[in-house]
Amino acid sequence: MIYPVIMAGGTGSRLWPLSRQLNPKQFLRLANSDWSMLQETILRLDGLETAPPRLICNEQHRFLAAEQLRKLSITGADIILEPVGKNTAPAIALAALQAQEEIEDPILLVLAADHLVTDCAKFQEIVRKSLPLAIAGKLVTFGITPSSPETGYGYIEKGEALSEGGFTVNRFVEKPKLETALNYLSTGRYLWNSGMFMFRASRYLEELKANQPEILQACRNALAAGKKDMDFIRVDAAAFSACPEDSIDYAVMEKTSEAVVVELDAGWSDIGSWSALWEISPKDGEGNAIKGDVIADDTHNCYIHAESRLVTTVGVDSLVIVETKDAVMVAHKDQVQNVKKLVERIKQDGRLEHINHREVYRPWGVYDSIDNGHRYQVKRITVKPGAKLSVQMHHHRAEHWIVVSGTAKVTNGEKTYLVTENQSTYIPIGQVHSLENPGVIDLELIEVQSGSYLGEDDIVRFQDIYGRAPQ
């Protein structure tokens, strides 16, 4: 049985303003209107004999990940939480160590949560075909058949042909210049490095012990001192922070003599830029990929995404235009790799648009920051049936709640009472309070905050069913 490990870290800053620090591209519906990139990755496994997938993600993304698994009706899928990013070698080590606790020396299939594969049948065929290589102790990586002289990917040079469609690995090559990439394409010996792998857990750990023992020991320590919290596996932050940072390519694959590459031609894309998303999106007769409320006149070869309002274009070509509730980004398709520079500029300017969208997802529901100004902020809050916000208080702000639909169960100091549609209640500064939806439909309310400081860090939690209160 295959043990899928899905790496769901990263921020995807090249796809700003859709992808943000607290809601990155792997959790967004980019290539599919129904499913996120993470969900598509999991659904791609349907038809293979696998254990429930294991996720590795950032602490800040834990509830996003859990909710997306829930929507797929997946149970028993542990989520390993990284307190700090240390690249792929430690992340996979955590998964391998945890897997060995549950299954005797499983075969790990390591996938990225933010890649697109359009031919799932071919993908599964190649995985099955490659399985004997992994069983035999090889460290299998999947190389993508190149379709262009891509300078944004690393490459793998094929060596001697083996059984099951595999090749020995002559070498791994960093992202090349255009002239070099053209040469690679012409030889037919080079494949794009996909960042997907398959191997026995024990073999990966053996190679890691031989080549980067400090990583292995730090990961052992972090897991041993960690704890299980609902579906989450929390590794010890101090132990994991001491772990060296390294990729699986540098730490293991470039050093082992047992690396094997299997060619994969299944419509793969890492969707690493807006131009890549334009390439895989359906287009109109003018070459435009359009999502949302858009009117385009004399417009050609553009990617236009409108989230919350009408976007119009006249007489433009080869542009990327992305509109969200709080930001608009316009770039030439040839310059989309530089979107990352915009994100850095936003950070340097002390702005917040790189962190989150106006809509923020929480384990209990979602809120939308409708308006804010000097000493006030207005939010539209949706609480799922049966969900409850933490028992909390604020030092600097008061809150006024107006119920629009549904019923709210409010604890306000020593009193607990119901607030129904068109009713309101007031929470003074410093008052311990909580909010719960006891009904069977969504609770919708408007929250008006007022006070000298309105930051999200002005929350003192006393109790929380989602594990966010101090222990």
CATH of the domain at 447: 2.60.120.10
Domain boundary among 269, 295, 330: 269
CATH of the domain at 108: 3.90.550.10
Task: Classify residue 161: in a domain, yes or no.
Answer: yes
Domain boundary among 269, 286, 311: 269
Query: Quick check: helix, strand or coil at residue 124?
Result: helix
On whether both 84 and 7 belong to a single domain, the answer is yes
Percent of the chain with pLDDT over 70: 99
Task: Classify residue 468: in a domain, yes or no.
Answer: no
* 358 pLDDT more than 70: yes
Specify the range with the lowest mean pLDDT, choosing from 58-67, 237-246, 333-342, 369-378. Answer: 58-67
Task: Classify residue 142: in a domain, yes or no.
Answer: yes
Task: Classify residue 374: in a domain, yes or no.
Answer: yes
Q: Which domain holds residue 221?
A: 2-269
On whether both 233 and 327 belong to a single domain, the answer is no
- State the DSSP code for 243: S
On whether both 82 and 111 belong to a single domain, the answer is yes
CA distance 130 to 140: 8
- Total domains present in the chain: 3
The burial of 271, by beta-carbon neighbours within 10 Å (0-12 exposed, 13-18 middle, 19 or more buried), is given as: buried
Task: Classify residue 353: in a domain, yes or no.
Answer: no
On whether both 46 and 136 belong to a single domain, the answer is yes
On whether both 142 and 181 belong to a single domain, the answer is yes
pLDDT at 469: 65
CA distance 283 to 302: 9
* 188 pLDDT more than 90: no
Give the E-state strand segments of 206-354 in sequence order: 227-229, 232-234, 259-264, 268-269, 289-291, 294-297, 303-306, 311-314, 319-323, 328-332
On whether both 306 and 409 belong to a single domain, the answer is no
Task: Classify residue 126: in a domain, yes or no.
Answer: yes
Domain boundary among 320, 347, 374: 347
User: Binning pLDDT at 50, 70 and 90, where does residue 228 land?
Assistant: confident
Task: Classify residue 470: in a domain, yes or no.
Answer: no
* 471 pLDDT more than 70: no
pTM of the model: 0.86
* 130 pLDDT more than 90: yes
Nearest 10 degrees: Cα torsion 76, 111, 362, 353: 170
* 456 pLDDT more than 90: no
The burial of 114, by beta-carbon neighbours within 10 Å (0-12 exposed, 13-18 middle, 19 or more buried), is given as: buried
On whether both 225 and 309 belong to a single domain, the answer is no
